[in-house]
């Protein structure tokens, strides 16, 4: 029997990688997309004849119930969210509606339609905020530092609660930052690699960034979507930290990215206070020992290879654009 998977947030970075991965595993892949005045399917363009898209919105309970009824998925991956931290300071209520209450709407739909559907919730290392220990594990207490982080803490605990209350097979993946050539250009890694390509090709002079000292545990999105699938295919539902265990600064990321094209980052990067946050997460570093032990998951792409992959992809894309 062909297994059906439903992905909310299929038009995002992770949705695109996960759709491709699940398709390769033999799944029939369905994606939830929200209505917009213009299509936003660039990341899944190459999969358009393979995935089935359905309109629904995290803000609209009935639309999610109808979608789950229609698709009857075996596995549901809830990746949709307002995922950009600075926007969460500007739009905290909308962020809570999408990123926090949206999770309950998805879980309620599953509870109403079919409790045997396995659910993955996209939780985040941003929940650790002001870190209480290093590295962070599944038992490290949360201290979120943004409305986004607070919303994700709600999403995490409501997932655990539905598992405990209704015996749902619901897993929360606490994923540390993961990047790729499909990353949105507002996130710092892609902002840097896009600018490196444009500066190298003479289209831009300067790159304005915020806190260069911030430390993140950056992995490759392609590795991380595999972990989501492993969680839903394990015997018992549980929560897992997914991380590389290495941390690097924004400055170091920029240094490697500029070096890769023969440039010195210090000649191009300027600090702009506009990109500083009201409250910052200064450091994150995860310990994925549980995922290694129980799921057999390990990251495959190194930090240096990730930076190079992203710079190369942006160079190729920008060159094509100016041809």
Give me the active site residues, please: 124, 126, 148
- Considering CB distances under 5 to 8 angstroms, the limit depending on partner class, which of ligand NAP, ligand GDD, none binds residue 214? ligand GDD
Distances (CA, A) of 17 to 144, 150, 155, 257: 27, 26, 22, 23
Here's the x/- map for ligand GDD, 21-60, by CB under 6 A: it reads as ----------------------------------------
The residues pairing with 242 across neighbouring beta strands, listed in sequence order, are: 175
Judged by CB under 6 A, the residue of 126, 194, 255, 287 near ligand GDD is 126
Shortest Å, Cβ 275 to ligand GDD: 4
Judged by CB under 6 A, the residue of 97, 187, 245, 251 near ligand GDD is 187
- Considering CB distances under 5 to 8 angstroms, the limit depending on partner class, which of ligand NAP, ligand GDD, none binds residue 250? ligand GDD
Judged by CB under 6 A, the residue of 124, 159, 180, 193 near ligand GDD is 124
Shortest Å, Cβ 12 to ligand NAP: 2
Judged by CB under 6 A, the residue of 4, 198, 216, 248 near ligand GDD is 216
For the record, the structure tokens of 291 come out as: 């995922």
Comparing CB distances to ligand GDD, the nearer of 73 and 219 is 219
Using CB under 6 A as the criterion, which residues of the chain lie in contact with ligand NAP when the complex forms?
Answer: 8-9, 11-15, 34, 36, 40, 57-59, 79-83, 98, 122, 124, 175, 177-178, 184
């Amino acid at each position: 029997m062909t297994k059906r998977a439903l992905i909310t947030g299929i038009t995002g970075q992770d949705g695109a990688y996960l759709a491709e991965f699940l398709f390769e595993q033999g799944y029939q892949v369905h994606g939830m997309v929200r209505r917009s005045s213009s299509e936003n399917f660039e990341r899944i363009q190459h999969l358009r004849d393979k995935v089935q898209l359905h309109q629904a919105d995290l803000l609209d309970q009935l639309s999610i119930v109808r979608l789950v009824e229609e698709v009857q998925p075996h596995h549901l991956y809830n990746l949709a969210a307002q995922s950009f931290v600075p926007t969460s300071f500007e739009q905290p209520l909308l962020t809570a509606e999408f990123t926090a209450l949206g999770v309950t709407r998805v879980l309620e739909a599953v509870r109403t339609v079919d409790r045997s559907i396995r659910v993955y919730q996209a939780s985040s290392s941003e929940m650790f905020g002001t870190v209480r220990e290093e590295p962070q594990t599944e038992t490290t207490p949360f201290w979120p530092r943004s409305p986004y982080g607070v919303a994700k803490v709600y999403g995490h605990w409501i997932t655990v609660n539905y598992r405990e209350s209704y015996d749902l097979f619901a897993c929360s993946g606490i994923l540390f930052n993961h990047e790729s050539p499909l990353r949105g250009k507002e996130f710092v890694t892609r902002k840097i690699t896009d600018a490196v390509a444009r500066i190298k090709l003479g289209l831009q002079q300067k790159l304005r960034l915020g806190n260069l000292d911030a430390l993140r545990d950056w992995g490759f999105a392609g590795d991380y979507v595999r972990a989501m699938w492993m969680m839903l295919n394990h015997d018992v539902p549980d929560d897992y930290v997914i991380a590389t265990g290495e941390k690097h600064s924004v400055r170091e990321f920029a240094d490697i990215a500029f070096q890769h094209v023969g440039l010195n980052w210090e000649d191009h990067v300027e600090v702009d206070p506009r990109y500083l946050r009201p409250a910052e997460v200064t450091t994150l570093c995860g310990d994925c020992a549980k995922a290694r032990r129980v799921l057999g998951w390990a990251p495959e792409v190194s930090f240096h290879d990730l930076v190079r992959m992203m710079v190369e992809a942006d160079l190729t894309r920008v060159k094509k654009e100016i041809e």
